[in-house]
Amino acid sequence: MRRSRSALIATFLGAVLLFGWTSPRAALPAAGALAPAFTLPDQSGKPRSLTEFRGKWVVLYFYPKDDTPGCTEEACKFRDDIFALEQMGAQVVGVSLDDSASHAQFAKKYGLPFPLLADPSGAVTRSYGALPEGSRYAQRYTFLIDPAGKVAKAYTSVETSRHSVEVIEDLKRLSRR
């Protein structure tokens, strides 16, 4: 018996609703666990490692694509709040699957004063659970990493217009511990 295209689509959607749909991805690093190590090139091609930021708070944010509306808003909010973040001993680091040349144009266009790391293979993004299997774009996730290199907080639901303020509030709270 041959089914129509619409019947096949309806069956598929029904299965998705009934059983749920999840994209395979690596698990998120747990709070209190050591953050996955990495070395990636920044927008100038310089290799940057998580270990170079040891002793500082790290705001490691993953984003889908350079110079798109949400990614630009998020990056510019971190740029606008950079002095407050630095006063709390925090280093902002962005990561996407774009290459260093794309990051260089993006950083220059918007005056971004922090490293943007290129992860074209997606290996680091995947190690943080921010890359669904088969996707060409990172999820908009942020990890707040403490000065000892441990994950203090993971943000998996990010509102770009207020995310930097949310991170600053959490840094204030976590720094008092």
Domains and CATH numbers, the chain: 25-175 (3.40.30.10)
Q: How far apart are the C-alpha atoms of 33 and 82, rounded to whole Å?
A: 26
| Contacting residues for 31 by C-beta, under 8 A, at least 6 apart | 151, 152, 153, 154
- pLDDT score at 177: 67
Residue among 58, 60, 71, 158 flagged as catalytic: 71
Whole-model pTM: value is 0.85
Mean pLDDT of 41-55: 97
pLDDT band, very low/low/confident/very high, at 21 (cuts 50, 70, 90): very low
Contact assessment for residue 53 and residue 91, using Cβ atoms and an 8 Å cutoff: yes
pLDDT band, very low/low/confident/very high, at 176 (cuts 50, 70, 90): confident
Higher-confidence position of 24 and 175: 175
Does residue 71 carry a catalytic annotation?
Answer: yes
| Contacting residues for 121 by C-beta, under 8 A, at least 6 apart | none
